[in-house]
Structure 1
């Protein structure tokens, strides 16, 4: 049993918001997850051509015309945030979507209209902007071309992602933008947790976003590559053949658990601990996964959380549905779990990528939000497209199983879960969550 005295102070998730393919609200997201549906859809010929596609590409057998997009990602309530139309047009849709989502998360937490003397930090991530180009329309802003181009470049820089939230939402704590590829969101959660533990801030707004303005062009499938040949992602399945890219945004509002309890905040879930590391050169190539690196970060997160793996009964995996990547991930998870438990088949395993695809920098925030919703509903959603297990994964002797239908979630103690994200280049992250504490019932009036 791991020593709980070694654990850091837990964090409370006191607010949450997200927009994902096929789900513009968290209620719609839970419905999509619990019903085992996909948020991906086919792209019509008309939509493909309207997005700028080459008519000749319609005959290309390698072109997969599917998209997992956010409806109205091109819309923005500019007036609400004090932007004029021309200025708003220059801003990367990723920044616009994340700004709106952050406001809704603060609203969910009860801090949208003010946070008193509490210092609020921002930790946010996104992929590279695909919106900016040198033919952005500087003349629309009524400025010389050189000035307009500078504004356009600034409005599409990852460096201004977090600071835009801080400025527009009047937040004065640390404001940090980051990108560690696919692990960005979980690294942001971990970094925010360190800042809260160090009292660098009292509240942390943590989010990530991925919006590709060219998503309606589909993608090209390359045999043995990471992308699915048919627009379906099949985590841990025998016919797994890759994932597909998706758009999405999610934001958490975090506080130290003791402060959230003292102030009477609504607590949606608890983050018990987290860890990050890097593979170094312990793998066959820069973009390859490392079983050693993954296993080490999982054990480190369990130590930080002060929990025994035997009490973790759901893992939201990175789960990219590549035939070799999934077995490596499950082998690393098994190695880490075997440090503290020898139980078999007790822990459910899932991946939200089967529902909404790979959100890149925002992949981990989708996984955390899914897991918080599952904790709140005390139910484990199905993993879609899982007709038969990957034969390279030894489920029979390991701790894990893959649910294929919505299951009630019970445990002898508090429900606990874990979320993994592994970035290209080797930055790994793992987070341990727990259901919200059950508070005593208020006394009934005499």
Structure 2
């Protein structure tokens, strides 16, 4: 019962933080036409529900209610919509390992059609059933060594991992903070295959990739980074690499770097799509693609595609450009999303206001540690406290008591800001944290 509550709370908290990261106060979205799209895969009845309910045993009925009703997938998005008072669509998407990127495709297209004003896309996967790991290892899906060696000659399956991740989608004209712009998001499915339902199809993935950039009228040669679904399985990696090569490498002269997040954190299954999107956004922000781990010797059957494909094995300096994220599920459902980075124009006076006008910075948080964390960040990173930073911080920290929300219980203030050198070695800076009663 505790694990059910923890899972639900973690999803709600993650979505709240993603909205704050965008420079939007979640309270301002209450009652809005915001959609919630959650990609999730669960193994039915694996929690071991009791055979009988005993009404005369204290807590038996309540425990069974939690195990049955509260474990159902349809409450995953509904709980997020309930807590935040969102009025838009609220649904789960289960296409196996491509679930969260499929959810992102639905969310993006609802925005484009005008069905929603904003959207939360969440991917979640938690492993509470050890016997499933054992069965999949015995069947050859998961690595018996527990090593995720994507693209490597020694690859022998994937390693399960956990993720609770989310992104917040808005129309560009309404956005306060933009990490990237979605330019295309599409899905398809393999259909009937002679090799069997569970065998990935290079042809179907290639077709989807071509449809994605053709519908957006994008030259495939513009692609500068491809984040693969690659898991380390014997069949899946080869099929995906074939599709990428055929769709994006015809006449290509520049190398196309490939990312493989699952080599870094394992396969978070239904959460892997959104996790890969977040990796791309981090690469945009830091202008660096992180290395793929455990890649020592490229698989022989992949060598003919490298180059122009490039396996990233060390930190790769990266000038942000068009990027793709690919996802496919064991049932044959594929999802493909293209992103453009948000090229920010730097200004010479970015620190002008922060450097010249002392001020009190008001901060709120769910815990005292959260408030102090923001305080420490401001004090220790003066070059990052720009006009943009302050403009984003102010609305997120603003509390509106007439909205049906308790707000953040802990408040603090920091100032005067910026901090002048203390006279005679005495620190006159004021800092306080208190709990709102």
Query: TM (normalized to structure 2)?
Result: 0.73
RMSD: 3.0
Q: Which residue of 2 aligns with 1:173?
A: 88
Q: Which residue of 1 aligns with 2:64?
A: 149
2:262 corresponds to 1:349? no
Q: Which residue of 1 aligns with 2:285?
A: 376
2:217 corresponds to 1:303? no
Name the SS for the 2:49 alignment partner.
coil
Equivalent positions of 1:36-55 (< 5 A) are none
1:170–1:224 Cα change, 3 Å: closer
Q: Which residue of 2 aligns with 1:322?
A: 233
Q: Structure 1 runs of 4+ off > 6 angstroms?
A: 136-140, 442-446
Q: Which residue of 1 aligns with 2:35?
A: 121
Deviates more, 1:142-151 or 1:296-305: 142-151
Q: Is the 8 A contact 2:199 2:235 kept in 1?
A: no
Q: Which residue of 2 aligns with 1:430?
A: 336
1:206–1:222 Cα change, 3 Å: closer
Instruction: Return the alpha-carbon distance in structure 2 between the equivalents of residues 333 and 283 of structure 1.
Output: 22
CA deviations over 1:177-223 (Å, ceiling 9, x no partner): 11000000100000000111111111100001001123599636757
Name the SS for the 2:19 alignment partner.
helix
Shift of 1:92: 6.1
Q: Between Structure 1 and Structure 2, which shows a larger proportion of helix residues?
A: 2
Shift of 1:361: 0.6
Q: Is the 8 A contact 2:54 2:61 kept in 1?
A: no
1:124–1:116 Cα change, 3 Å: closer
Q: Which residue of 1 aligns with 2:106?
A: 191
1:182–1:133 Cα change, 3 Å: same
Name the SS for the 2:88 alignment partner.
coil
Shift of 1:114: 2.1
2:135 corresponds to 1:229? no
2:21 corresponds to 1:108? yes
Instruction: Return the alpha-carbon distance in structure 2 between the equivalents of residues 221 and 181 of structure 1.
Output: 15
1:297–1:111 Cα change, 3 Å: farther
Instruction: Return the alpha-carbon distance in structure 2 between the equivalents of residues 393 and 233 of structure 1.
Output: 17
1:213–1:144 Cα change, 3 Å: closer
Q: Which residue of 1 aligns with 2:311?
A: 402
Q: Which residue of 1 aligns with 2:190?
A: 279
Instruction: Return the alpha-carbon distance in structure 2 between the equivalents of residues 215 and 307 of structure 1.
Output: 45
Match of 1:97 among 10, 14, 18: 10
Shift of 1:323: 2.7
Shift of 1:442: 8.7
1:204–1:310 Cα change, 3 Å: same
Q: Which runs of 5+ in 1 are unaligned?
A: 1-87
Match of 1:367 among 276, 281, 303: 276
Name the SS for the 1:186 alignment partner.
helix
Shift of 1:299: 1.1
Query: TM (normalized to structure 1)?
Result: 0.71
Q: Which one has the largest radius of gyration?
A: 2
Instruction: Return the alpha-carbon distance in structure 1 between the equivalents of residues 130 and 5 of structure 2.
Output: 15
2:117 corresponds to 1:206? no
1:136–1:403 Cα change, 3 Å: farther
Q: Is the 8 A contact 1:90 1:136 kept in 2?
A: no
Instruction: Return the alpha-carbon distance in structure 2 between the equivalents of residues 389 and 193 of structure 1.
Output: 36
Instruction: Return the alpha-carbon distance in structure 2 between the equivalents of residues 213 and 434 of structure 1.
Output: 37
1:429–1:158 Cα change, 3 Å: same
CA deviations over 1:238-275 (Å, ceiling 9, x no partner): 22211111111110000122332xxxx11112211111
1:143–1:205 Cα change, 3 Å: farther
Q: Is the 8 A contact 1:101 1:251 kept in 2?
A: yes
Q: Is the 8 A contact 1:420 1:431 kept in 2?
A: yes
Shift of 1:439: 4.3
1:332–1:217 Cα change, 3 Å: closer
Instruction: Return the alpha-carbon distance in structure 1 between the equivalents of residues 67 and 235 of structure 2.
Output: 41
Query: Number of matched residues?
Result: 350
